[in-house]
Amino acid sequence: MKYLNKFLLVIIFFLYSAISFANEGMWLPLLLEKLNEKEMKSLGMKISAKDIYNINSGSLKDAIVSLGGFCTGEIISGKGLVLTNHHCGFDAVQNHSTLEHNYIRDGFWAKSNREELPNPGLFVTFIVRIEDVTKQILNGVTAAMNESERQSQVDKNAEALRATVKKESYQKVLIRGFFENNQYFLFITETYNDVRLVGAPPSAIGNFGKDTDNWMWPRHTGDFSMFRIYAGKDNKPADYSPDNIPYTPKKSLTISLNGVKAGDFTMVFGFPGRTMEYLPGSAVEQIMTVNDPAKISIREKALTVIDEFMRKDEQIRIQYASKYAGIQNAYKKWQGEVLGLTRTGALGKKKVYEAEFQKRVLANPQWKTSYGAVLQDLNNAYAEIKPYGFARDYYNEIISKIELFTVAGQLNSLVNAFDQGGEAAYGKRKKEVTDFLTHFFPEHNSQVDKKLFAALMKMYVEDQPKENVSPLMKERSLTTTEDFEKLAEKVYNETSILDSKAVNEKLQQSTNDVLNFIRTDNAVKLFNDILKTYQSQVQGKLNEIQTRINKLQRTYMQAQMDVFKERKFYPDANSTLRMTYGTVKGYEARDAVTYDFYTYLDGVMEKYKPGDYEFDVPEKLRALYKAKDYGPYGVGGKLPVCFIASNHTTGGNSGSPALNANGHLVGLNFDRVWEGTMSDINYDASICRNIMVDIRYVLFIIDKFADAKHLIKEMNIAGGPKI
């Protein structure tokens, strides 16, 4: 009976996985034809894998860009118009905002090309072609090599490959490891640096529902903004110049106004950042019980401090809007992640999977030798890294939130540059630091920062093992009898590195004077002591264990691929171009709660709270709603806003196009549902859903709300009522 139960459990698990794997995966575009085309067609896709990825003629991939390396965008006109999320363009919107021109609050719409606003530092990258270069990169690599020997052989091979690969002078070569570096792919890329802001709705539309609705379904956010790529006269990449012209793309997406219905095929094309689907249960457990909770607790403190200032002060609200949203976003996601992993029994599933893995390995003499111990070794290594991983998260989360340390770190890098490379290195670094500070200070407020210091350094001193606390910090906290508010007052009084005028003037002086100023500053001294303590107590050991884990994960990855031949494997996300596909459907969130897959403008109005900071609705939108003035974008007297589907997405997929069976643009990806945020670690098709804004809502806002018809005219709209 006992055995029967176990046997049944395994059968059920694998039946279940066969189904659940159906929508799981972030696939490499060049392998779609081989691995996915058949399944995609069986789910309803009408185009071919070649229409998606083809290096010989324009294909869908030529309309997809990585936006700034952190989001995705897509080309939606023959004049280089790029659609992405509001939260992806938010930094740009914020940079152009002032108390007089508050584009965050009021939105921004360029009436002509001349009004489009440049954004230094923002770029878009196209993928020209992808090649499997595993053989070349692993040439000469042997199993006997240790990790650093392996890496130097890989680097040598990569260098040789770069030197011979065919490309234009303005293109770049990127080589990335996949499947824990069991495979390598090469990307030829093209980057444009002149990317201008074209339009963004007010935050009350683009970020409607703010943090309360973030990571939640049902959703009613018009999370979009638009940019335009500018090129040199020859249509090639060029640095910003007023003489640059709108870029003519190889391919731009066709827009469909037909919408989607339950069961429809959709695919999402973009640049997912990072997933960890192949961890052993022991590692997942550590994320749930150690790492996520540590990071959550620190962010909670930081958010409380910043929120208090933002509510009282409009200037600080603008300055800290983007930072706050960023801190809050991951803070909330990690909570959903822990909850989702718990609710879906992720650890139990990993246990069953690992038991089956081990059984198969032991039954095969060759596998037994090479893979027999890998799980146990991994479990041991994860147990060993636990305290160091906790210390790393504590250090990173705290130090990165206190801007006093950000500036100290920047200034300190000048000292390091000089010590290592003399005057030349110093000069080069000084330009970077000056650029950094120019962007940094307008968004900094020392009062906020001082409060952050008090709140977070208290955690740093009190919640960590003593040996991880910097001796200088400990000593200083004793001088104020551990009253951290008082200590913060002292620390900020004893430094001038947060005085932008003083720092800028100082940086003009002789190298010696600058270095002296930095070396003797109290805040820099404190920063250095904290850094040194971290390096000696944590970092060395952490890196050593992590290197071992990386090697074991690589073996475990290969082992899973060898042992579970019936399963189709996709590589974890690593910010490279991927395709994911699924079907439009609702889900059962919990007992007695089932969600539909569409939301409408009626839902925006249901959430409307006059004057509220998250749920206010602009007057014009209310008027359009009242008049039911939806133009060609409404259906049956209603205006669609958002919808969900089972596409497997993650951070970085923001702004990715949602395409229908014909490859036409029907939506814009921007989030996932609360119950499914654990999909980065353990995708579960029964509740993992991505959230997209319906393209009809986007066009409605541009056309009816913003009166920016000239932008609609640029677009190629098919398959719907005429506009």
Find out whether 213 and 222 touch, Cβ atoms under 8 Å: no
Asked if residue 211 binds ligand ARG (CB under 6 A), the reply is yes
Q: Which does 652 bind (CB under 5 to 8 A by kind): ligand GLU, ligand ARG, none?
A: ligand GLU
Give the nearer residue to ligand GLU in terms of CB position, either 73 or 571: 73
Which listed residue (199, 202, 582, 651) binds ligand GLU by CB under 6 A? 651
The H-or-E segment that residue 464 falls in is none
Query: Which 8-state DSSP code applies to residue 613?
Result: T
Type of residue found at 212: T
- We find the least distance from the C-beta atom of residue 574 to ligand GLU, in angstroms, to be 14
Asked if residue 680 binds ligand ARG (CB under 6 A), the reply is no
Asked if residue 650 binds ligand GLU (CB under 6 A), the reply is yes
Cα 522 to chain center, whole Å?
35
User: What are the φ/ψ torsions at residue 641 (nearest 5 degrees)?
Assistant: -120, -60
| CA 545/CA 351 separation, integer angstroms | 23
- We find the least distance from the C-beta atom of residue 674 to ligand GLU, in angstroms, to be 12
Which listed residue (126, 324, 527, 670) binds ligand GLU by CB under 6 A? 670
Give the nearer residue to ligand GLU in terms of CB position, either 102 or 654: 654
Catalytic residue among 194, 223, 521, 703: 223
Which listed residue (61, 79, 87, 350) binds ligand ARG by CB under 6 A? 87
Give the nearer residue to ligand ARG in terms of CB position, either 654 or 682: 654
3-state secondary structure of 502: helix
Q: Which stretch binds ligand GLU (CB under 6 A): 39-47, 173-181, 402-410, 651-659?
A: 651-659
- We find the least distance from the C-beta atom of residue 319 to ligand ARG, in angstroms, to be 16
Which listed residue (649, 703, 708, 717) binds ligand GLU by CB under 6 A? 649
Which listed residue (213, 397, 449, 671) binds ligand GLU by CB under 6 A? 671
Q: Which does 649 bind (CB under 5 to 8 A by kind): ligand ARG, ligand GLU, none?
A: ligand GLU
439 catalytic, yes or no? no
654 catalytic, yes or no? yes
Asked if residue 653 binds ligand GLU (CB under 6 A), the reply is yes
The H-or-E segment that residue 38 falls in is helix 37-42
Q: Which does 653 bind (CB under 5 to 8 A by kind): ligand ARG, ligand GLU, none?
A: ligand GLU
| CA 55/CA 32 separation, integer angstroms | 14
Asked if residue 269 binds ligand GLU (CB under 6 A), the reply is no
- We find the least distance from the C-beta atom of residue 334 to ligand ARG, in angstroms, to be 12
- C-alpha distances in angstroms, 51 versus 24, 38, 64, 255, 259? 22, 14, 13, 16, 21
- We find the least distance from the C-beta atom of residue 640 to ligand GLU, in angstroms, to be 20
Q: Which stretch binds ligand GLU (CB under 6 A): 362-370, 397-405, 584-592, 645-653?
A: 645-653
| CA 399/CA 677 separation, integer angstroms | 26
- We find the least distance from the C-beta atom of residue 691 to ligand ARG, in angstroms, to be 8
Asked if residue 598 binds ligand GLU (CB under 6 A), the reply is no
Asked if residue 221 binds ligand GLU (CB under 6 A), the reply is no
3-state secondary structure 346-403: HHHHHHHHHHHHHHHHHCCHHHHHHHCCHHHHHHHHHHHHHHHHHHHHHHHHHHHHCH
Q: Report the site for ligand ARG in 329-388 (rule: CB under 6 A).
A: 329
Asked if residue 332 binds ligand GLU (CB under 6 A), the reply is no
Using alpha carbons only, give the angle 27, 32, 33 rounded to the nearest 5 degrees: 170
Give the nearer residue to ligand ARG in terms of CB position, either 103 or 394: 103
| CA 52/CA 58 separation, integer angstroms | 9
How much helix, strand and coil, in percent to the nearest 5, is found in the chain? 55, 15, 30
Type of residue found at 143: A
Catalytic residue among 17, 252, 477, 654: 654
Spatial CA neighbour of 686 closest among 24, 39, 26, 11: 24
Which listed residue (17, 328, 464, 495) binds ligand ARG by CB under 6 A? 328
Asked if residue 319 binds ligand ARG (CB under 6 A), the reply is no
Spatial CA neighbour of 625 closest among 638, 614, 636: 638
Asked if residue 207 binds ligand ARG (CB under 6 A), the reply is yes
Asked if residue 325 binds ligand ARG (CB under 6 A), the reply is yes
Q: Which does 217 bind (CB under 5 to 8 A by kind): ligand ARG, ligand GLU, none?
A: none
Give 371-379's long-range contacts (Cβ < 8 A, gap of 24+): 371/555, 371/556, 371/559, 371/562, 371/563, 374/552, 374/555, 374/556, 374/559, 375/280, 375/556, 377/552, 378/280, 378/282, 378/283, 378/549, 378/552, 378/553, 378/556, 379/280, 379/282
| CA 475/CA 653 separation, integer angstroms | 46
223 catalytic, yes or no? yes
3-state secondary structure of 662: coil
| CA 447/CA 433 separation, integer angstroms | 23
- We find the least distance from the C-beta atom of residue 652 to ligand GLU, in angstroms, to be 5
Give the nearer residue to ligand ARG in terms of CB position, either 88 or 455: 88
Contact positions vs ligand ARG (CB under 6 A): 87, 207, 210-211, 214-215, 325, 328-329, 651, 654, 670-671
Contact positions vs ligand GLU (CB under 6 A): 71, 649-654, 670-672
Name the residues annotated as catalytic: 87, 223, 654
